[in-house]
Every structure is written in structure tokens, then in C-alpha cells.
Amino acid sequence: MATYSYLFLALLFSSLCNRSMVLSSNMDSHDLARVQPLAPLPAWACSSKESKREGLKIIHRYGPCSPFDGQRATPIQILQQDQSRVTRLQSRLTRASSRVDVQDTTLPARPGTAVETGDYIVTVGFGTPPRDMTLVFDTGSDLTWIQCQPCSGGCYEQQYPIFNPTDSSSYLNLSCNSAVCSQLSLSNGCSSSTCVYSTGYGDGSKSIGFFAHDTLSLTQSDVFPNFLFGCGQQSNGLFGKAAGLLGLGRESVSLISQTATKFGRVFSYCLPSSPSSPGYLTFGTDAIPSTVKFTPLVTDPNNPSFYFLNMIGISVKGQALPIPASTLASPGTIIDSGTVITRLPSSAYAALRLAFQQEMMNYKSVSSPSSVLDTCYELGGSEALSVPPIVLHFEGDVDVNLDYSGIIYEMRAVGCLAFAGNEDNGELTIIGNKQQLKLDVVYDVGGRKVGFGPGGCR
């Protein structure tokens, strides 16, 4: 989940004192194609099929493979959460320079308050000896943090025991006079000469605690001593019973920057094609498929953590939509692992919807079960809809052909166009994770490029 850049300094817990590309669909892109998805597993079944890729296994936190007991959500609930995330992202990006008067800030002691984080989780090891921690991973955040005992300010419920720093022989809090503490944008100050961090989210949810370092184990061979992270003493927000968050943004404190010496600031993922299947998250250049095509990575000085791309057009059934280049160019496009449904400028979405509707006239149009999506059709039993091919075009002659799962969002007996429009053309375009399914997505931060390739998760 993306974090606000402003600081939250008022700490209510007693132990802390205030201070402070192409996806090949095997079909002619100019023809309607009956795209039949693979037969899904039963809702209760978790696939035993393993990805052939090395790296961290990605699991959908609401799927049957999730380790979180009782954490399930309907497609409609997921869309409601998604809209909340998008609202916060848009707010952060349009008010990047906003700051809060810390004297007027209060932290509600409400552990367990719902907060909408990303849908995908990975498990890594913290400490010596390593303790497994299952975290939400998020390309829209930088700081990695986990809940830590004694949780003096209150913590939300998580699935497995909360990390105890005293059990790790390599754990160390950072002092207030350390260079890292003084440079940390999320640093709020000190408690008994110990550096304190505070990171807040748009709905008021927060994580506050000690800024520390310990050993991070991604795999048995990828071990990083002195990894900087937040050891949370107060956290409010139900993060899907995860232990915390893994930050994959671009800033210096992110996992990508801290492991740059070994991995060259390169990582890639394939999101699982269904909640019943695993995906993967890998680091370094060795695992990049030769089929990946790259588009330039853009930096917004006001929002340096986000991954901006230049999307230059959209095609439906081989026909470019009449979208002026300026509509997509400003305020720009980001790719985000935590947003589900792609959001487009209002006029761009209107053009996409019209072209899609014209190709779907043989299907019965129905009302949407969700306010997020507005172009829906009745599903005919087990038969998939025949959908027109949709292609997203990016700078560098990169064309991303969407899979059926990136075009249709299914709810009950209804299939909806898996795009939504912003309120106006002045809001950010966001490429959601639904449109990234079955793709290898590669982030070469050092090379300033993002790539897309077919055949992900195989």
C-alpha cells in the first residue's frame, strides 16, 4: 500500500516519546476470439503445481492457498477495497507536497481497523535464527516493516506469532544520531536515543515503532545482514493477518535499493493467474526471459517512489482508440501491484467502453453488481465470453496484449469489462494487477525501464 510522505509525530504509546511485451494470445488481434480460460479449480482447492521459476512464492491472500485462516473476500468486496486504495493513491499523488502539523496529529488506538492493502503475499525470514514472516508486497511503498513485541502501543491481529527482537542475535535498534536516521524521510524522532519511524496510510491507519536493522533472508542463499526495517510497536489496520509489508518502491530504504549490490536493482514477478495457483517474485537479471520487451521508466520528482510509464494508446480489435496523446501523458501512468482494476482518464475509458460494447452486442447486457465496474454481461454457464482483443501500447514499441483474465472481471454470473474510469482526465492512470496477470513483469530500476513478456508463471 502506498504511504503518505508526510510525518506522524504524535505517539500515544508510553515507550516512545515524541520528537521529531508482448503477451501472445495465439489469435489474430484483428478478430473476435473465443478466449476460453483454463478450467478453474474448485473454490476450496489449492493447486499443487509449482512455478518453474526460482524465487519467492506469491500467494493471493484471499485464495485457498493463503495461510491466513478465515481471510476470504468476495469479488465485490475486493472491488470495494480496490476503490479505497485508488482514492488514497490519487490523493497522495495530487498532494505530494502536503505535510501535517504534528502538534495537531493524534493516533487512534484502534487495532484491527480495516485497511485495504495489496492482494498478494510472500514469506521471508527475519532475524538470527530466521523467523518466517508473511508480508504483503507492494510496489507503491518503500519501507519494509513488521509488527514487533512488546507492541506497547497496540497491534492488529496477525496469523503467526509477532516477531520478538530479543530472540534474534543480530537485531539492533538505530541511534538517533546515525546518518540513516537523519536521512530517513519517515523518521519522527527518538525514544531514549533510539530512532523512531512513523508511516501513515490514507485512511488513518499507521505503523509506528523503532527503526532498526537485522538479517533478512529471502532464500537460503540470499541473506542480507543489517537490513533496515521498521519494528512496529503500534499498528492499526487489518493487513490480511500479514506480519507487515514488504516495500518494493524506488527510494533508498526500499528492499530494491538495499539489495542493489547483489541484484542490481532488478526484480520481476508473475502474479498467479488464479487465486488457486502460485506466482513468483525474483531478484536480479538471471531470471529475465528473453521474450521481455522494455519501455522506459519515468521519474516524477514529486513522487519518486512510484513506477511511472509512458502509455501512448489502447487498441480494441486492432483499431486504435481515438485518445489524444495528451490525455494519457498528463498527469501520467503508474504500474501498481496493489491496485486491482486499471483506472483510465474519463475520456479514454469512455472510448474503450464504447468500442468494447460495439463488439459485445451479441451478449445480454446486465447491471453491474459493483459500482466500480459499469459494463457487464451475462455469463453463459461454463462458456467464456468471446471478447475483442485489447492491447495497451507503451513507449518503445511495447504492445501488451491482455489475457482474457485481464479483460473480464467475473462476479457471480456476470462478467464485466475490467477497467474503470477516473472522475476526470486530470487524475492519474493506474495499471492494475488484473491487467498484469499471466505476464512476466520486470523492473530494471537501475536501467530505468520496465518490461513485459508472455507466458508468466510457467
Look at residue 92 and tell me if it is in a domain.
Answer: yes
159 assigned to some structural domain: yes
Regarding whether 208 and 173 lie in a shared domain, the answer is yes
Check whether 443 has a pLDDT greater than 70: yes
* Domain range for 400: 289-453
Evaluate whether 134 touches 123 at the Cβ level (below 8 Å): yes
Give the strand order in the sheet containing 414-417: 365-366, 376-378, 414-417, 408-411
CB crowding 70-99: b at 16 or more within 10 Å, else e: ebebebbebbebbbebbebbbebbeeeeee
* The pLDDT value given to residue 456: 75
Residue 201 has a pLDDT of 59
Q: How many CB atoms lie within 10 A of CB 113?
A: 14
Does the pLDDT at position 170 exceed 90? yes
What pLDDT, on the 0 to 100 scale, is given for residue 51? Answer: 54
Active site residues: 138, 336
pLDDT at 354 over 90: yes
**222 shares a domain with 191:** yes
Last residue of a domain, one of 231, 265, 281: 281
Residue 193 located in a structural domain: yes
Calculate the CA 211 to chain-centre distance.
23
Residue 135 pLDDT: 93
Q: How far, in Å, are 183, 195, 199 from residue 179 at the CA level? A: 6, 11, 19
pLDDT at 94: 67
Identify whether 100 is part of a domain.
Answer: yes
Looking at the structure, tell me whether residues 87 and 106 fall in a common domain.
yes
Domain endpoint, select from 229, 255, 281: 281
The pTM assigned to this predicted structure is 0.85
245 in the same domain as 156 = yes
Could you tell me whether strands 365-366 and 223-236 are parallel, antiparallel, or unpaired per DSSP bridges?
A: unpaired
- In this structure, are 112 and 212 located in the same domain? yes
Q: Label each residue of the chain as H, E or C.
A: CCCCCCCCCCCCCCCCCCCCCCCCCCCCCCCCEECCCCCCCCCCCCCCCCCCCCCEEEEECCCCCCCCCCCCCCHHHHHHHHHHHHHHHHHHHHCCCCCCCHHHCCCCCCCCCECCCCCEEEEEEECCCCEEEEEEEECCCCCCEEEECCCCCECCCCCCCCECHHHCCCCEECECCCHHHHHCCCEEEEECCEEEEEEECCCCCEEEEEEEEEEEECCCCCEEEEEEEEEEEEEECECCCCCEEEECCCCCCCHHHHCHHHHCCEEEEECCCCCCCCEEEEECCCCCCCCCEEEEEECCCCCCCCCEECEEEEEECCEECCCCHHHHHCCCEEECCCCCCEEECHHHHHHHHHHHHHHCCCCCEECCCCCCCCCEEECECCECCEECCEEEEECCCEEEECCHHHCEEEECCEEEECEEECCCCCCCEEECCHHHCCCEEEEECCCCEEEEECCCCC
For residues 307 and 160, membership in a common domain is answered with no
- Report if residue 63 sits inside a domain: yes
Same domain, 338 and 428: yes
Contacts of 301 (CB under 8 A, 6+ apart): none
Mean pLDDT, range 52-56, rounded to an integer: 72
What per-residue confidence (pLDDT) applies to 185? 66
Kindly indicate the confidence band of residue 187, based on its pLDDT and cuts at 50, 70 and 90: low
The larger pLDDT score, comparing residue 14 to residue 411, is at 411
- Which of 135, 19, 142 lies closest to 92, judged by CA? 142
Q: Name the residue with cell 538470527.
A: 128
Report which of 11, 15, 25 is spatially closest to residue 439, judged by C-alpha positions.
Answer: 25
CATH number of the structural domain spanning residue 360: 2.40.70.10
Model confidence at 97: pLDDT above 80 = no
pLDDT in tens, 286-299: 878 889 999 999 99
State how many domains the chain has.
2
Judge if 186 and 324 occupy the same domain: no
d(CA 275, CA 269): 15
Q: Residues 62, 157: one domain?
A: yes
Identify the domain boundary among 234, 259, 281. Answer: 281
Indicate if 204 and 143 belong to the same structural domain: yes
Q: Note the pLDDT of residue 224.
A: 98
In the predicted model, what is the mean pLDDT of residues 27-55? 50
- What CA–CA distance (Å, rounded) separates 105 from 100? 7
Residue 304 has pLDDT above 50, yes or no: yes
Asked whether residue 15 is assigned to any structural domain, the reply reads: no
Separation of alpha carbons 398 and 330, rounded Å = 20
Any domain includes 413? yes
When the pLDDT of each residue in the chain is averaged and rounded to a whole number, the result is 81
146 has a pLDDT exceeding 80: yes
More confident residue, 118 or 336: 336
* Pair 336, 228 in one domain: no
